[in-house]
Amino acid sequence: MAQKEVKSNSFYLFQGLAWGLIMFVFIVFIDPFFNDEPLELSIQRISLGLVSWVIMGLAFGYINKLLANRRKG
Q: Is residue 8 part of a domain?
A: no
Nearest to 30 by CA among 49, 51, 56: 49
What per-residue confidence (pLDDT) applies to 73?
Answer: 62
Q: How far apart are CA 65 and CA 4, in angstroms?
A: 14
Q: How far apart are CA 66 and CA 60, in angstroms?
A: 10
Q: Is residue 5 part of a domain?
A: no
Query: By the 8 A CB rule, do 49 and 28 touch?
Result: yes
Q: Is residue 1 part of a domain?
A: no
Residue range(s) defining the domain that contains residue 27: 21-72
Q: How far apart are CA 13 and CA 10, in angstroms?
A: 5
Instruction: Specify the number of domains making up the chain.
Output: 1
Helices (H), the chain: 9-25, 31-34, 43-72
Residues of the chain whose pLDDT is less than 70? 1-6, 73
Q: Is residue 29 part of a domain?
A: yes
pTM score, whole prediction: 0.77
